[in-house]
Amino acid sequence: MGGRQEIVQGTGCKWVCSETLYLLKPSLRNLQRNGFEIVYDKEVYEWKRP
């Protein structure tokens, strides 16, 4: 994660985004440890063929 952020900073980008699911707690914590913040919630639905 840190290496990718360094690469992005060198390109002049102002924003970096990512997404993960709340049920993937380790992934969410890893993003938060690296400076990402939750800015919105998105519901994910599964469609099953009848």
- Per residue, the 3-state secondary structure of the chain, as one string, reads CHHHHHHHHCCCCCCCCCCCCCCCHHHHHHHHHCCCCCCCCCCCCCCCCC
**pTM assigned to the model:** 0.66
**Residue 29: predicted pLDDT:** 93
Tens digits of residue pLDDT in 1-50: 667 777 777 788 888 888 888 888 999 999 999 889 999 888 888 899 98
Domains of the chain: which residue ranges?
Answer: 2-33
**Residue 48: predicted pLDDT:** 94
